[in-house]
Amino acid sequence: MFQSSIMVMAFVVGTLLAVAIPLVGSTAVFKRLSNTGDALAHTSLAGVAIGLACGLNPLITSVIACVVSILVIELIRKKFSKFSELGVAVVLSAGIGIAGIMTSYTKVSNFDSYLFGSILLIDNLELYLVIGIFALDVLFYVFFHKQIFATIYNEEEAKVQGINTSLINFIQSLLLALTIALSAKTIGSLVVSSLIVLPIATALQFKKNYLVTILISIGFSLVSTFLGLTGSYYLDYKPGSTIVIVAVIFLVICLLINPLINFIKTRNTRNKKVS
């Protein structure tokens, strides 16, 4: 499998995104805004459709669409603070609508590769962009993880203790938008939002602290990507879809095993107390 340079490239890009996506996605999940990823994925699709219809680079139009969308979501979130999910719903609907209309002006085969991704057809520009966004995501989260955590935990208290919460929120949102836009071509618009939620949901089952939960989610994301790519190579499935199915299987296994482990732990504790 690794004799093929295409597969090597797919594994490199897959590894970088498998680290970057749960990293930026975790904040959306912890803020109870998991649907943000979904909304951005759909607007990235709208951006791709606009790019293809207007003869522009779809990757660039997808990035612009995602950045504009996250700004709109944040604006609506501030205006209607009690209905933070409202902005997500508005952007998601607009994304689907625009994507649907603009596809009438594009070739179906071109557009399809953005729905489920084409990680096996990555060009050099896309590789450099993925390396760039990976580096930005990792640097931001390594250097500012406490500020990010404090802002998620209690924004008002974080602001009073001197953290620039508006800037932290803005950078987080921007990185989320850029990561999703750049993942649309490689993993696919329809599956990238799943990769934001699934590894974190799986990691949450382990009931560990913040840092360990993030690391576990990156671990699951990496293993899902490696198994998904290997499976797609041998079974000739679409890589993005195979990766997501593997991630779903991991989550289901954890959901089934966890109650069993808890039951055994409780029984052992009870037995110890009795003896």
Partner 1 sequence: MIELKNVSFSFKKEPVLQNINLIINDGTFVGVIGPNGAGKTTLIRLILGILKPTSGRIVRTDKKISYVSQTTSLNDSSFPSNVEEVVALGLATNKPFLFDFKSKKKRTEEVLKDVGIYDLRKKLVSELSGGQLQKVKIAKALVSSPSLVVLDEPDAGMDEKSHEKLIETINLLHEKKKITVIFISHHMDDLTNADHIFLVENGKVTSVQEGEKYVSI
Binding footprint of partner 1 on the chain (CB under 8 A): 30, 32, 142-147, 149-150, 152-154, 156-164, 203-204, 207-213
DSSP 163: -
- The residue among 164 and 266 lying less far from partner 1, judged by its C-beta, is 164
Least CB distance to partner 1 at residue 162 (A): 5
Least CB distance to partner 1 at residue 177 (A): 23
Phi then psi for residue 209, to 5 deg, are -75, 180
Q: Provide the token pair at 164.
A: 């620039």
Cα dist from 250 to 79, 172, 185, whole Å = 38, 27, 24
Q: In sequence order, what E strands does 36-118 have?
A: none
Q: Provide the token pair at 181.
A: 């836009």
Q: Provide the token pair at 156.
A: 């008002």
Least CB distance to partner 1 at residue 253 (A): 19
The sign of the CA dihedral 52, 57, 59, 64 is negative
**How many residues in total does the chain contain?**
275
CB 21 within 8 A of CB 240: no
- The residue among 149 and 226 lying less far from partner 1, judged by its C-beta, is 149
- The residue among 206 and 226 lying less far from partner 1, judged by its C-beta, is 206
CB 138 within 8 A of CB 19: yes
- The residue among 99 and 201 lying less far from partner 1, judged by its C-beta, is 201
- For residues 84 and 61, give the distance between their C-alpha atoms in angstroms, rounded to a whole number: 26
- The residue among 30 and 111 lying less far from partner 1, judged by its C-beta, is 30
Least CB distance to partner 1 at residue 209 (A): 4
Least CB distance to partner 1 at residue 206 (A): 8
- For residues 122 and 28, give the distance between their C-alpha atoms in angstroms, rounded to a whole number: 27
DSSP 82: G
- The residue among 105 and 143 lying less far from partner 1, judged by its C-beta, is 143
Least CB distance to partner 1 at residue 48 (A): 34
